[in-house]
Structure 1
Amino acid sequence: MVQPQSTVIQPAGWDAHVHVFDASAPIQAGHYQPAHQPLERIEAAATALGVAHLVLVQPSVYGTDNQVLLQALQREPGRHRGVVVVDVDVTDAELQAMHAAGVRGVRFNLVSPVGNGPEALRALSPRLRALGWHVQWYAAPQHLAQIAALQAETGLPFVLDHLAGMHALLPAEDEAWSTLARLAQAGAWIKLSGWYRLQASAPYSTLHAAIERVATLFDGRMVWGSDWPHTSFAPESMPPYASVWTPVVQALGHQRAQQVLHAGATLYA
């Protein structure tokens, strides 16, 4: 009797950096007016790539009002995760409610003048540690030494957005690479994301060497993010969803790329 072949079910992949926008939600003064980009729209785009889990990152236009993000997480409890921006006076009850909704980190920003920085991190770090949350940084290469010092000071897990800012024109001998190595050795994670923020244009082949070098430093602690809905582009000019995944496959090969796609299950548990 011929035994039926077993079906191997691939675990669902993770997109570790997306934003959702509600056109009716109030925005911070002086910021751009985002187009309406609800969660179900990115879910539909991600499914074709085998991605079922999304990490919703608080966009700067909403400041520390995380309601759009939290409402999106509550649509299907337990499926997705969130990274928020909070004030230092956020209450413990608010943090616990966010954790229950799926939040696993707080974002700090050294690029935008409206983002929280090191002093806010120092004030919040005991409570982040108690929650088991990580610290996500949007930063440029020149900020990495400061971030490395804060990682050593706080002992919190750090996650570096958008290839840690290691852009296509950064010299191979730049000191930022040595600092990035120290961050990796101390346990930091990195997001393979934001290609168009790194002085590169599609198909982003000029970033392959940087992606490969990052992979030698952060092997096992890399996640991928689409950065959907690509706020650097007009809504009618957004790059195809899969096109920002392709550079990972081309730089690392299919097997290692799949490891990256599924590593979110560890970081965002």
Structure 2
Amino acid sequence: MTETPAAAANAAPAGWDCHVHVFDGRAPVHPGHYQPGHRPLQQIEDQAAAFGVGHLVLVQPSVYGSNNRLLLQALAARPGRHRGVVVADPAVTDAELQAWHALGVRGLRFNLVSPAGNHNNPQQDVMDLAPRLRALGWHVQWYAKPEHLAPLAAWQRACGLPFVLDHLAGLHAGLAQDDPAWQAAAALAANGAWLKLSGWYRLGAPQAPYGALLPTLRRAVALFGSRCVWGSDWPHTHFANDALPAYADQFGPVQAACASTHPATALARQAQALYGSGVAPA
């Protein structure tokens, strides 16, 4: 994401938003969770384009479980332009994985937080899938809480796959400076994990400019360094349709926390390193 819409027109390289979801308001969802509105790919493409963002990472939302149909359709609609992170279990076939890879999928997501997430045996699932994911060059993405980080550090070492941590790894504004989660986060970072700078309102900073989170964000960015990517978390499923946070506001904390004069350019390079540089022009 470039710093202003005016600068976006000449953005080079094109910006990346590394955490968005697409929804079909008519599609069935897991019971007992939220009911999303209709949020098609074109809607976020148009909104992001105003800020120089031409590439999106579509993340499978928990309400659809392992039914990745909408995400895969969205990738197919823009060949080579976007990337995807899906949900699957060890029963997935090699043919499915290869087909998804061809569409732009580059990771598998595990959700340890949401009611419809992965709460059975995610460790065993990752170990079972690891050889095939390594062969594809994929990563494993985790939506986790601070107390999950220590076991995740051990699992990452054991499976030999890069981990990507959603929403600042759950490191929220109220987390004590000496909380053991910081040590676990440092272990993950030291072993090659990536961090998504996203989901501020999930982390104890409910409204822009999210100032309460800045000390935590700065510390996390210092830990993960060049293995950080930014995501808007669009379409902000925590909020009513008439009260959605502004897209531009989701980049503000990054500008405040990053030492780089041009964080959008640096983050675009980092996104290309994680998701692959062979994307079609926006």
TM range, smaller chain: over 0.9
1:257 to 257, 263, 280: 263
Distance 1:50 1:56 in 2: 17
| Counterpart position of 1:103 | 105
Distance 1:9 1:167 in 2: 32
3-state secondary structure, aligned to 1:70: helix
Whether 2:250 is the aligned partner of 1:223: answer no
Give the 5 Å matches for 1:151-230: 151-202=156-207, 203-230=209-236
| Counterpart position of 1:245 | 251
| Counterpart position of 2:152 | 147
3-state secondary structure, aligned to 1:199: coil
Given that 2:30 and 2:116 are in contact with CA atoms closer than 8 Å, whether structure 1 keeps it comes out as no
Give, in angstroms, the shift of residue 88 of structure 1.
1.6
Distance 2:78 2:136 in 1: 22
For structure 2, the 5+ residue unaligned runs are 1-9, 277-282
Letter aligned with residue 210 of structure 1: T
Whether 2:79 is the aligned partner of 1:77: answer yes
Distance 2:97 2:186 in 1: 32
Distance 2:196 2:65 in 1: 22
For structure 1, the 5+ residue unaligned runs are 1-7
Report % sequence identity. 60
1:131 to 136, 140, 158: 136
Letter aligned with residue 124 of structure 1: L
Distance 1:142 1:45 in 2: 35
Give, in angstroms, the shift of residue 30 of structure 1.
2.6
Distance 1:53 1:228 in 2: 14
Distance 2:55 2:151 in 1: 32
Whether 2:256 is the aligned partner of 1:266: answer no
3-state secondary structure, aligned to 1:209: helix
For residues 225-248 of structure 1, the C-alpha deviation after alignment (integer angstroms, 9 at most, x for no partner) is 000000000111101101111111
3-state secondary structure, aligned to 1:255: coil
Between 1:81-90 and 1:244-253, the stretch displaced more is 244-253
Letter aligned with residue 171 of structure 1: A
| Counterpart position of 2:39 | 37
3-state secondary structure, aligned to 2:201: helix
Distance 1:132 1:33 in 2: 33
Given that 1:14 and 1:263 are in contact with CA atoms closer than 8 Å, whether structure 2 keeps it comes out as no
**Distance 1:90-1:265 versus aligned 2 partners, 3 A rule:** same
Q: Across the two proteins, how many residue pairs are aligned to each other?
A: 263
Letter aligned with residue 265 of structure 1: Q
**Distance 1:9-1:55 versus aligned 2 partners, 3 A rule:** closer
Distance 2:112 2:26 in 1: 28
Given that 2:11 and 2:52 are in contact with CA atoms closer than 8 Å, whether structure 1 keeps it comes out as no
Letter aligned with residue 222 of structure 1: C
Distance 2:23 2:259 in 1: 33
Given that 2:204 and 2:212 are in contact with CA atoms closer than 8 Å, whether structure 1 keeps it comes out as no
3-state secondary structure, aligned to 1:97: helix
Given that 2:33 and 2:115 are in contact with CA atoms closer than 8 Å, whether structure 1 keeps it comes out as no
Given that 1:204 and 1:247 are in contact with CA atoms closer than 8 Å, whether structure 2 keeps it comes out as yes
Q: Please report the TM-score for the alignment, with normalisation by the length of structure 2.
A: 0.90
Q: Please report the TM-score for the alignment, with normalisation by the length of structure 1.
A: 0.94
1:14 to 8, 13, 16: 16
3-state secondary structure, aligned to 1:74: helix
Letter aligned with residue 264 of structure 1: A
**Distance 1:31-1:249 versus aligned 2 partners, 3 A rule:** same
For residues 57-107 of structure 1, the C-alpha deviation after alignment (integer angstroms, 9 at most, x for no partner) is 000111100000000011110000000001221111111110000000000
